[in-house]
Amino acid sequence: MKKRFNSTGVCVSRKYYMVDISKKIEQIKKLIDNEFYFTINRPRQYGKTTTLNEINNRLKDVYLVINISFEGIGDIVFEEEKSFCNKFLKLIIKDLAFVDKEESNRLENLSREINDIEELSEIITKFVEKAKKEVVLIIDEVDKSSNNQLFLSFLGMLRNKYLGREVGKDFTFKSVILAGVYDVKSLKLKIRNKEEAKYNSPWNIAVDFNVDMSFSPKEIATMLNEYAIENSLSMDIDKLSEEIHFFTDGYPFLVSRLCQIVDEKIYELDKGPWESEDIQKAVKIILEEKNTLFDSLIKNLENNKEFYDYIEDIIVNGNDKGFNSYNPIIEIGSTYGYFKNKNGKVSISNKIFGEIIYNYMISKLENNYNNIEEYNFKEAFIKKDGGLNIEKILKRFQHFMKEQYSSKDSEFIEHHGRLLFLAFIKPIINGTGFDFKEVQVSEEKRLDVVITYNKFKYIIEMKIWRGLKYHEKGIEQLCDYLNIHDLNVGYLLVFDFNKNKEFKEERSNINGKDIFQVYV
């Protein structure tokens, strides 16, 4: 059976190309060897289940590993202790049947129709005391039950047994690993009877889980290298890995999905060596997909206006926010994998998420347009060599702004002007071109747009006029940015909100760079 890339469900090495996460597994094994209890809380589709499977494979010769999940067992199970305790034991017995039939039968003989968590604790004690090996318990999808008193009681039982074991007065699991989106240790738990909120979880015995589960460029390279060898391809693995990491920041699902798109869509019929341009093509394709990860992102934006406005202020207006994990909005963004801590500031976790958000915000803004299609007719901006006439695009946008928006719209433009320009160029570059945006935190609130169109690259910087001093400094920064991209021509779109502003254009040569500027 030929291997392929996988972006759904658990990954297994016999069927799929996989990133080598052995170093991460070794870090986790050390926690287990030291008898720690901990929670692997990471966003959806972040490789938790695959990691748990790899942990299981790594430990099975040393420990008796029980690997169960609360996914799909029904809500009614969590309504009373008796049903939960008996279901919990059945899950363990079923899993052990595939691991050690003898131990599975022993636990089944110990088990009976129990009534409460105290009796469950007694069975765990008897089972672990006589087990052939030390027992490790892994529970995936614990979020299923984390909002009720029963779950608190279950965690409390595990905690009491852990403390009893420490002083030689109980037998229990060597290590317990809970996996889910939320950190059970600090989760706000809703109590079913009194409808009150608790923040103090009995899981305070757990240690922090600090293993970085994102993929580094070197780790991504291990998967690409396996693919290249199996398909007899000579590829610049390091360059491709860096390119994939640039767009994904190592988010496991996004890494796997981009590779899957290149293999199954771009090189569907004729396998060939990958190029950096293929990764960009794959990014374009994934941005047009509907999947559960993106659906969840849009839903969270749409259902929380404060969250929406917070993100817009970062990625559109260029306002930096200090990273404080106690801030409820930052906590939401971090829990779902949308935010990361970048030098003490809140940043969108990867460029693909950023582009999804930009595209969604642009689409919502379209309801405010007035005859924009009369100004941005695509064929008017394509040069004979297949490139884009960026100067003409900027002049046309200036013309659009001058005719369609008056001084009374200044508040709207100050808040939405950059999104408006992104909407203006979107139909021009769609199909052939690709663009991504980078917020540059500065006094002028810069937003740089990098456009690739055919084999051409262009950089357009958007900023707000804050005075000549900041303007000159900003141009120097643009020149430095052009150097990074090995370009000699740059474009500047300046939003000027002074009452006596001019709709003008300028051309200047700074540090050997040709800078074309348009003011709106």
Residue 199 — pLDDT band, cuts 50, 70, 90? very low
Burial pattern 398-416, b for ≥16 Cβ within 10 A else e, equals: bebbeeebeeeebeebeeb
Residues β-bridged to residue 489: 514
332 vs 339: CA distance, rounded Å: 9
Q: Which of 7-16, 50-59, 401-410 has the lowest mean pLDDT?
A: 401-410
| Residue 278 identity (one-letter amino acid) | D
Asked if the structure places residue 457 within a domain, the reply is: yes
Q: What is the pLDDT of residue 376?
A: 74
Tell me which residue range forms the domain holding 459.
370-520
222 vs 256: CA distance, rounded Å: 12
Three-class DSSP category at 341: strand
Q: What's the mean pLDDT in 92-103?
A: 96
Domain check: are 236 and 196 in the same one? no
Q: What is the pLDDT of residue 126?
A: 97
Q: What is the pLDDT of residue 430?
A: 85
Q: What is the pLDDT of residue 22?
A: 96
Q: Contact 17/1 with Cβ under 8 angstroms? A: no
DSSP label at 500?
A: T
Q: What is the pLDDT of residue 203?
A: 84
Residue 408 — pLDDT band, cuts 50, 70, 90? low
pLDDT at 451 exceeding the cut of 60: yes
Helix (H) or strand (E) holding 246: helix 237-248
Q: Which of 54-58, 210-214, 465-469 has the lowest mean pLDDT?
A: 465-469
Q: What's the mean pLDDT in 305-322?
A: 91
Q: Which of 15-19, 304-308, 401-405 has the lowest mean pLDDT?
A: 401-405
CA 13 to chain centre: 23
Asked if the structure places residue 333 within a domain, the reply is: no
Q: Annotate 459-487 with three-state secondary structure.
A: EEEEEECCCHHHHHHHHHHHHHHHHHCCC
361 vs 236: CA distance, rounded Å: 36
292 vs 46: CA distance, rounded Å: 13
Q: Contact 477/446 with Cβ under 8 angstroms? A: yes
CA 403 to chain centre: 41
Asked if the structure places residue 377 within a domain, the reply is: yes
Domain check: are 28 and 168 in the same one? yes
- Can you give the CATH number for the domain in which 33 is found? 3.40.50
Q: What is the pLDDT of residue 122?
A: 97
pLDDT at 195 exceeding the cut of 50: no
Asked if the structure places residue 352 within a domain, the reply is: no
Domain check: are 172 and 277 in the same one? no
| Average confidence score pLDDT of the chain | 89
Express each pLDDT in 336-394 by its tens digit. Answer: 999 999 999 999 999 999 999 999 998 888 766 666 777 777 888 999 899 999 999 99
DSSP label at 75?
A: G
DSSP label at 116?
A: S
pLDDT at 73 exceeding the cut of 60: yes
pLDDT at 240 exceeding the cut of 90: yes
Q: Which of 52-66, 134-148, 242-256, 377-391 has the lowest mean pLDDT?
A: 134-148
Q: What's the mean pLDDT in 141-157?
A: 80
The residues, any chain, with a CB within 8 Å of residue 276's CB and separated by 6 or more, are 239, 240, 243
Q: What's the mean pLDDT in 277-302?
A: 94
Domain check: are 434 and 511 in the same one? yes
Domain check: are 34 and 63 in the same one? yes
- Report the half-sphere exposure of 336 (CA within 13 A, side-chain side): 19
Residue 194 — pLDDT band, cuts 50, 70, 90? very low
- Please give the structure tokens belonging to residue 149: 């008193």
Q: Which of 124-133, 182-191, 271-280, 301-310 has the lowest mean pLDDT?
A: 182-191
| Count of beta carbons in the 10 Å neighbourhood of residue 444 | 22
Where is the domain boundary, 172, 205, 238? 205
Domain check: are 198 and 232 in the same one? no
Q: pLDDT exceeding 70 applies to what percent of the chain?
A: 92
Domain check: are 166 and 222 in the same one? no
Residues β-bridged to residue 345: 322, 342
Helix (H) or strand (E) holding 197: strand 197-198
Q: Which of 187-191, 249-253, 414-418, 419-423 has the highest mean pLDDT?
A: 249-253
Closest CA to 223 of 243, 236, 212, 237: 237
Q: What is the pLDDT of residue 439?
A: 77
- Please give the structure tokens belonging to residue 307: 């969250």
300 vs 398: CA distance, rounded Å: 34
Q: What is the pLDDT of residue 189?
A: 41
Residue carrying structure tokens 């290149």: 262
> CA torsion angle for 260, 261, 263, 265 (degrees, to 10)?
140
Helix (H) or strand (E) holding 260: helix 252-261
Asked if the structure places residue 337 within a domain, the reply is: no
77 vs 87: CA distance, rounded Å: 7
Q: What's the mean pLDDT in 159-164?
A: 96
Domain check: are 57 and 26 in the same one? yes
16 vs 22: CA distance, rounded Å: 16
Domain check: are 197 and 230 in the same one? no
pLDDT at 146 exceeding the cut of 70: no
Helix (H) or strand (E) holding 514: strand 513-519
Asked if the structure places residue 505 within a domain, the reply is: yes
Q: What is the pLDDT of residue 113?
A: 83
Domain check: are 192 and 233 in the same one? no
Domain check: are 517 and 422 in the same one? yes
Maximum distance among all Cα pairs of the chain, rounded to whole angstroms: 87
Q: What's the mean pLDDT in 472-483?
A: 88
DSSP label at 216?
A: P
Phi and psi for 2 in degrees, rounded to 5?
-80, 135
Give me the number of domains the chain comprises: 3
Count of residues for the chain? Answer: 520
Where is the domain boundary, 263, 289, 315? 289
pLDDT at 213 exceeding the cut of 90: yes
Asked if the structure places residue 387 within a domain, the reply is: yes
Asked if the structure places residue 232 within a domain, the reply is: yes
Where is the domain boundary, 175, 205, 235? 205
Express each pLDDT in 494-520 by its tens digit. Answer: 998 887 778 899 999 988 999 999 998
pLDDT at 196 exceeding the cut of 80: no
Domain check: are 32 and 82 in the same one? yes
